Structure 1
């Protein structure tokens, strides 16, 4: 079977993990080119992994006619332009979330994708490919909890990662707590509740790290969302979790409840010692969702080989960004935000 030749842009922490998956763990795939503005990263991986082509300029990589697809793992502020350019050059495209940091950007991406219906386009909402989240979805479809009425999502980054976040945020790469962190939960809510948002109220503050307030952002924040089908969402996100990386989701239905990740266990081991019985916690998103990051890219490759589109669409990226931006607006203004969509799916809020 033909191998899909991929070029990846962005070799940071997540980008490097994706690159390693593409190079060594995914069938019918070949990591054929890598691109980073940090030349040392490119040189290192070319030397150690035997990657044929290395670039420090994204436009140069797009001129490589041997490539079939482009994988975008660069900082969020570059996604929109890089997606548009890759599609115009005829490539299939996988992009990490979000599509962009501004509403006009995500609308541009949607238009660009719709101009190229024969090219596979996929957004990296990896939690949809996590086995636990998929199992919960199956249970919901089987009617185990009746009709879902409320989703509660917690997303906390480990406190020890705060320095890395501050460097990221100071370069305007974040987009804020709700767009950067909560967007995965917002996408899950849309997926589980099968509805778009109607209105949002968000609050938050910088408690242990007041310097985050100087970035007009929250260290810890919460959003309450009413969806158009009258279901509810409660979203809490933070960057100061003492015990590690904690992602928890609860779906409350008319006949029962599902919980995912209530205890963020590192593995199945319990350590018995002078501190009692200890279950260690996951320390980061790559560790917790290692399988999901692999599975989503396997799906992308299969879509290319089978000439079909993935279940995660550009509209999922657009609508989740719209909701994340509405949360950001509510937090910044202190106002209840009414989320609306125009007929053309170009969302606005007021």
Structure 2
């Protein structure tokens, strides 16, 4: 069996998920190199993943590692130049979202992808590969809810991880670019058209450190789409009960709700607190299968010489919307999305 030799750059929480999938769960992939500026992460690659070819310099890995492809799981602001460098070095590329933190960066990545049509590029909008979201898309295409005209999305990270969010706030691009990109992508996907206007606001009630970093702990945005459809997004970082993600698509003939209760499993505990369902604890736990399926898609597309369904232009369009949402949030005005 031919195997795709992959180097991963970035071994934080999500980087470890991708690295473990490549190393242990995808038969036609092989994790042959790892790169990180954090020494402990390189030690993790050696001890837990069995990777001996490790680098603290990304360009050195591109030049010297025995790899066919790169999986980029670094800070959002680093994605685009790393995508360009890898493609120009002749490597296939999978990059985590967002594509970039501004439109200029995204155009840089677009140009690199267009220069190398023979190489596979995929952007990590993993919710499209979650079985529930994929099922919803299929039902919409089959006409199960008529014409979809409203998408309502909620995504709130757990309070348990708020310290990391605070540390990341200064370089995240703001709450909407950081946290709403998946929901923005899903709105475009489910409604089948582009957003034209956005109004947004934010608030901080619990952790003033977000305000000090020029960010907010909670944000709400409302969108108008080119066909008259609407979107609503609520994102936050302080859910006390776990990781809360849900999506509702409303159509002329029905509604689809995904994860209305962020259940950990189907068990219910009956005790002095009542009838209780434990909530899923984090996004790697909730979307574990989706992360595996999307990486399998990248590997298979690369080996077969195909391009995946999520491309660089999806990344640019979502970033354009995210950037406009950030502008609306900061100015308090309705912003036209061009």
Per the normalisation by structure 2, the TM-score is 0.98
- Give the equivalent residue in structure 2 for 1:235: 233
Q: Which of 206, 215, 218 pairs up with 1:217? A: 215
Secondary structure of 1:331's match? helix
Structure 1: 5+ residue stretches without partners: 341-350
Q: In 2, Cα distance between the equivalents of 1:96 and 1:40?
A: 21
- Give the equivalent residue in structure 1 for 2:332: 334
- Give the equivalent residue in structure 1 for 2:247: 249
1:112-163 deviation line (CA, Å, top 9, x unaligned):
1111111000000000000000011111111110000100001111112111
Kept after mapping to 1: 8 A contact 2:33/2:65: no
User: Counterparts in 2 of 1:1-350, with a 5 A limit?
Assistant: 1-64=1-64, 66-170=66-170, 172=171, 174-340=172-338
The Cα shift of 1:270 comes to 1.1
The Cα shift of 1:45 comes to 2.1
Q: In 2, Cα distance between the equivalents of 1:150 and 1:293?
A: 27
1:209-251 deviation line (CA, Å, top 9, x unaligned):
2221122222111111001111100111111111111001000
1:89-117 deviation line (CA, Å, top 9, x unaligned):
00000000011111110111111111111
Q: In 2, Cα distance between the equivalents of 1:27 and 1:86?
A: 23
Secondary structure of 1:26's match? coil
Q: In 1, Cα distance between the equivalents of 2:223 and 2:173?
A: 19
Secondary structure of 1:305's match? helix
Secondary structure of 1:223's match? strand
Greater than 3 Å deviation, 4+ residue runs: none
Kept after mapping to 2: 8 A contact 1:202/1:222: yes
- Give the equivalent residue in structure 2 for 1:346: none
Secondary structure of 2:246's match? strand
Structure 2: 5+ residue stretches without partners: none
The Cα shift of 1:66 comes to 2.1
Q: In 2, Cα distance between the equivalents of 1:48 and 1:20?
A: 9
Q: In 2, Cα distance between the equivalents of 1:23 and 1:337?
A: 44
Q: In 1, Cα distance between the equivalents of 2:185 and 2:241?
A: 25
RMSD: 1.0
Q: In 2, Cα distance between the equivalents of 1:310 and 1:57?
A: 28
Kept after mapping to 2: 8 A contact 1:153/1:234: yes
The Cα shift of 1:65 comes to 5.4
Kept after mapping to 1: 8 A contact 2:154/2:247: yes
Secondary structure of 2:205's match? coil
Q: In 2, Cα distance between the equivalents of 1:84 and 1:305?
A: 20
Kept after mapping to 1: 8 A contact 2:199/2:334: yes
Q: In 2, Cα distance between the equivalents of 1:45 and 1:199?
A: 44
Q: In 1, Cα distance between the equivalents of 2:46 and 2:30?
A: 13
Secondary structure of 1:257's match? strand
Question: Per the alignment, do residues 210 and 65 of structure 1 end up closer, same or farther by CA in structure 2, a change over 3 Å counting?
Answer: closer
Q: In 2, Cα distance between the equivalents of 1:12 and 1:294?
A: 17
Secondary structure of 1:107's match? helix
Kept after mapping to 1: 8 A contact 2:81/2:108: no
Q: How many residues align?
A: 338
Kept after mapping to 2: 8 A contact 1:216/1:332: no
